[in-house]
A and B are shown apart, each in its own frame.
Chain A
Amino acid sequence: DTAVSQTPKYLVTQMGNDKSIKCEQNLGHDTMYWYKQDSKKFLKIMFSYNNKELIINETVPNRFSPKSPDKAHLNLHINSLELGDSAVYFCASSQTTGGSQPQHFGDGTRLSIL
């Protein structure tokens, strides 16, 4: 059973479109995250939710909007896609917000903007 699953795995779309990425975890964790990994493999936190409440909101364009319908799901909606949005987006979860808990990552969504 996949612990953290993301869909779609690949997303190819044109500039200006709106797209969503879905994430689900079956670990019973309270906290979920979105990360962006750029072409140089640098990993940066975008958002974090704890029990459906936003707790981290890094400096991300407001074209990116996370939504957490319940604590097992954290979706990412992106409006007006730009070339610079091309990256791999990872969802992750951890048991709590406490810094001692390791994070469990999905396998990523590879977003390519044409």
Chain B
Amino acid sequence: AQSVAQPEDQVNVAEGNPLTVKCTYSVSGNPYLFWYVQYPNRGLQFLLKYITGDNLVKGSYGFEAEFNKSQTSFHLKKPSALVSDSALYFCAVTSGAGSYQLTFGKGTKLSVIP
């Protein structure tokens, strides 16, 4: 069975500071990893994904994530946080080609303080 852990329910960061939202995963086979963001009263929006290749992937709104196979992690990062980045962030995993069931983490609420 595949699973995702987001160890922090909430992350607080000052505007302009770098931010990290943590994610670890468990899956048999090669993982396909995703980050989504959810703003209040909205659906999830795709930010970025790792399928294969370069361990550092870049996505929307200046976000990036680093895939670390040995630590089974896929942490989301941004060099300089904006107040508008405040939202709920979800990490998700599926077990690769041929699998279509995405498993989500429980979400991490990011608050960027002005």
Q: Given A99-B95, A99-B97, A106–B90 Cβ distance below 8 Å?
A: no
**Is the pair A43, B100 in contact by a Cβ cutoff of 8 Å?**
no
Which residues does chain B contribute within 8 Å of A66, judged by CB atoms? Answer: none
A98 closest partner in B (C-beta): B97
Interface string of A80-109 (1 = CB under 8 A from B): 000000000010101001111011111110
Give the contact stretch, choosing among B12-20, B41-49, B62-70, B73-81.
Answer: B41-49
**Is the pair A103, B46 in contact by a Cβ cutoff of 8 Å?**
yes
Interface size class of B (residues with CB under 8 A): 20 to 34
**Is the pair B34, A102 in contact by a Cβ cutoff of 8 Å?**
yes
Interface string of B44-57 (1 = CB under 8 A from A): 11100101000000
Q: CA separation between A102 and B51, bound complex, in Å?
A: 11
B103 closest partner in A (C-beta): A45
A48 within 8 A of B: yes
**Is the pair A99, B99 in contact by a Cβ cutoff of 8 Å?**
yes
Q: In the complex, how many angstroms separate the beta carbon of B7 from the nearest chain A beta carbon?
A: 15
A40 closest partner in B (C-beta): B106
Which residues does chain B contribute within 8 Å of A108, judged by CB atoms? Answer: 41-43
Which residues does chain A contribute within 8 Å of B46, judged by CB atoms? Answer: 102-104
Write 22 A-B pairs (CB below 8 A) sorted by A numbering.
A4-B43, A40-B106, A41-B88, A41-B106, A43-B107, A44-B104, A45-B101, A48-B100, A56-B100, A92-B44, A99-B32, A99-B100, A100-B51, A100-B97, A102-B34, A102-B46, A102-B49, A103-B44, A103-B46, A104-B46, A105-B45, A107-B42
**A interface, CB within 8 angstroms of B:** 4, 31, 40-45, 48, 50, 55-56, 90, 92, 94, 97-100, 102-108
**B interface, CB within 8 angstroms of A:** 32, 34, 36, 38, 41-46, 49, 51, 88, 90, 94-102, 104, 106-107
